[in-house]
C-alpha cells in the first residue's frame, strides 16, 4: 500500500504532509478564536465592527481592501459591507494577521466612518443611498 506523502491544492501549490500539518493546527485554532469572537460580539448585540489594520508591512494584497474598514457583523446594515463579504473575498486566509474589533459607541462609529469617507462615498454612489 502506498502512503500519502503530499498533495497539490486547487491553486497548484504542492504540500508535503508535515508542512500541511504544521499549518493546519495553528490555523484551525485562530479561525475558531475569530469565529468565537464574532459570535460573542453578535450575541452581545453588536452590529458593527472594524477590521484591524494589521500593520502595512503585514497586510497582503488580499486583505488590503478590508484593513481598517467598518463592516456589518450581522449583514443587515444598509450601506456597510458585511463581514461575510470580506471573508468570501479572502479575508482571514491562512496566516492572516487581521481581527475584527467591535464598534461600541456612536462616537467611535462617527470617527471610523470619517476615516472611511472615500469608501462610503463609493458605496453611496453605487447603491444610490444616503448615509446620515
User: Can you give the pLDDT at residue 71?
Assistant: 92
User: Mean pLDDT over residues 31-35, rounded?
Assistant: 88
d(CA 94, CA 76): 27
Average pLDDT of the residues in 42-48: 87
User: 93, 86 in Cβ contact below 8 A?
Assistant: no
pLDDT band at 46 (very low <50, low <70, confident <90, very high): confident
User: Residue 122: pLDDT band by 50, 70, 90 thresholds?
Assistant: low
More confident residue, 85 or 5: 85
pTM score: 0.67
Instruction: Tell me whether residue 6 is exposed, middle or buried, using C-beta atoms within 10 angstroms of its C-beta: 0 to 12, 13 to 18, 19 or more.
Output: exposed
Q: Is the pLDDT of residue 118 over 90?
A: no
Q: What is the tens place of the pLDDT at every residue in 56-110? A: 566 788 888 898 888 999 998 888 899 999 999 999 988 888 889 888 767 666 6
Q: Other C-beta atoms within 10 Å of 2: how many? A: 4
Amino acid at each position: 500500500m502506498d502512503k500519502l506523502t503530499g498533495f497539490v491544492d486547487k491553486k497548484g501549490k504542492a504540500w508535503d504532509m508535515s508542512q500541511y500539518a504544521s499549518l493546519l493546527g495553528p490555523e484551525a485554532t485562530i479561525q475558531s478564536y475569530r469565529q468565537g469572537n464574532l459570535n460573542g460580539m453578535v450575541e452581545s448585540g453588536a452590529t458593527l465592527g472594524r477590521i484591524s489594520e494589521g500593520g502595512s508591512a503585514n497586510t497582503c494584497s488580499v486583505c488590503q481592501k478590508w484593513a481598517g474598514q467598518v463592516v456589518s457583523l450581522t449583514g443587515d446594515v444598509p450601506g456597510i459591507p458585511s463581514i461575510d463579504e470580506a471573508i468570501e473575498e479572502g479575508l482571514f486566509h491562512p496566516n492572516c494577521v487581521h481581527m475584527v474589533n467591535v464598534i461600541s459607541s456612536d462616537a467611535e462609529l462617527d470617527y471610523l466612518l470619517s476615516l472611511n469617507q472615500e469608501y462610503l462615498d463609493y458605496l453611496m454612489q453605487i447603491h444610490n443611498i444616503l448615509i446620515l
